[in-house]
Amino acid sequence: MMDISDGLSSELMHICSQSKVGCRVYEEHIPIDYQTAVMAEEFNMNLTTCALNGGEDYELLFTVPIADHEKVSEMEGVKLIGHITKPELGCALITRDGQEFELKAQGWNPLKDGGNTTPSSETDV
């Protein structure tokens, strides 16, 4: 478990690289803060890019075994945004229209050890 203050994409890729897994993140499941949406529109920026790469969001990112999917999906305040895959599949964003794009980390890198999380290849994000 880690906070996403350095950006959702960066932290997700950190978990995956440290755990030697890949992931799929679904655009329609990424929570978007109202202020993020307003600022993205005001500055003519892509909303999903802002949500994936913006920093200083003090939310938590963690993985859970697929066996706990239903239990976790019913928890208030928890949002499932994707799933863990085999490492050879890499990390990807699945758009609302089903296109798949390589997930890129554009967030801040503080050169720190973010902990050691080891999800299996059958884990929800």
Confidence (pLDDT) at 86: 97
Average pLDDT over every residue of 106-117 = 50
Residue 27 has pLDDT above 70, yes or no: yes
pLDDT single digits (tens) 52-72: 988 776 788 999 999 999 999
Buried-state track 30-60, b at ≥16 Cβ within 10 A, e below 16: beeeeebeeebeeeeeeebebbbbbeebeee
Contact 22, 88 (CB under 8 A): yes
Confidence (pLDDT) at 71: 96
In order of 3, 15, 25, 52, 72, the CA distances from 102 in angstroms are 22, 16, 10, 12, 27
Sequential DSSP letters for 61-115: E--EEGGGHHHHHTSTT----EEEE-GGG-EEEEPTTS-EEE----S--------
pTM over 0.85: no
Backbone angles phi, psi at 12, to 5 degrees: -65, -45
Q: Both ends of the chain: CA-CA distance in Å?
A: 11
Residue 121 has pLDDT above 50, yes or no: no
What domains are defined for the chain?
Answer: 2-124 (3.90.650.10)
Residue 112 has pLDDT above 80, yes or no: no
